[in-house]
Structure 1
Amino acid sequence: MWDRQAARYPAQEHRQARALAVAVRLAATRPGDQVIDLATGTGAMLRALAALPADRRPAGVVGVDRSAGMLARAAATALPDGWTTVAADARAVPRPAAAADVVTCAYLLHLLTADQSAAVLAEALRLLRPGGRLIVVTVWIDRSRPGGRLAGLAFGAAARAAPATLGGLRPHDPSALLTGAGFVLRRRVQVPRPGYPSLVIAAGRPGDGPPLRGSVSP
């Protein structure tokens, strides 16, 4: 499926740009950091990280995806030295335990079943070093907030208008899955872009920092 979508997928990346910018900010990368980007797709997260100034740009980034078509587009991006892409399932990344200071996972979990998501998060926990950060981005609509119902209707209309790129998405808050996988939530940021609302969550290992104290908008 995703090999067939590879040529069209970049058309929706502008809808994701604001949430990815929030994700990069919460990742708080530093020179010397190693990052693993799960479900890297066409490389939008790689490009966002590569655009950081030198004092925030990580030393190495591995973009992981099981779609050869998506990876071909990601690999066409001019990446910094030491950055690479790997063909692999996000549930079984060919890297040793504690290989990453930051693990990112953008726009994947809302496409998976609960069991599949749990397996991805277990792998993220395995890959993450003590003190490291997991950054997750999903499509999500908070219908309890003012305008939430309208946002839901707008998203549904957008999905019907562009089924090739939006039809498989379902709004999803992975907070319970994250805590069930052993993570502690640090930050939740709602990114209410019309037609493509997102939720960005920063999480870490227990004991590595203070737990979540609230949810904010950018």
Structure 2
Amino acid sequence: MQSLKLQQWKFRYNDHPDAWFRGYDDHDWEEVTIPHDWSVHMPFSKEYSSGTGYLAGGIGWYRTSFSLPKEWEGNRIYITFDGVYKNSQVWCNSYYMGKRPFGYATFRYDITDQVHFGTETNQIAVKVDHRDLSDSRWFTGSGITRKVTITSEAPIHPEFNGIYFTTPSVTDKLAEVVINHTLQNDSLYPVNVTV
């Protein structure tokens, strides 16, 4: 597996209905580094919830561009978000990838069929909707609050969240550990593998 961190993004507060479009003009947007929380840059106000630290939520848009090495072609390409608060929608090169409610769990999209390899750039757009301010008893922040990574995985690779372990029996001196490892086969043929 090879990876590329997407740390440099452009940000704009409020709704911009066409910002998902690859050719959208974002030249005057604010440049930010992920992780990013737009709420901490807003003024405090009693009109907002104590759960959000009396800071504004609202809607924000993020956009970034990246290129992928030609050598990655033929692999599965994923974009993984470790946390976006909250209600995010994601587009890759103007293709809608999906919506993720809430904001604490890691999620990812398979963008293999939407990306270009080599010198042509790719565009990711993310809409974050944190208008519901009474959604927590603590400060959550608003925005892409954890890292974002593009990964290139061989056709046979570990399934997303496919590795876990259990301890069926535990004593003061000994524990039995069972590891479950699920592999995903995106190749055209059945394959025998050793883990």
- Shorter-chain TM-score tier: under 0.3
TM-score of the aligned structures, taking structure 1 as reference length: 0.25
Q: Which gives a bigger RCO, structure 1 or 2 (Cα 8 Å, sep 6+)?
A: 2
Bigger Rg, which one: 2
TM-score normalized by the length of structure 2 = 0.27
Indicate the structure with greater strand content: 2
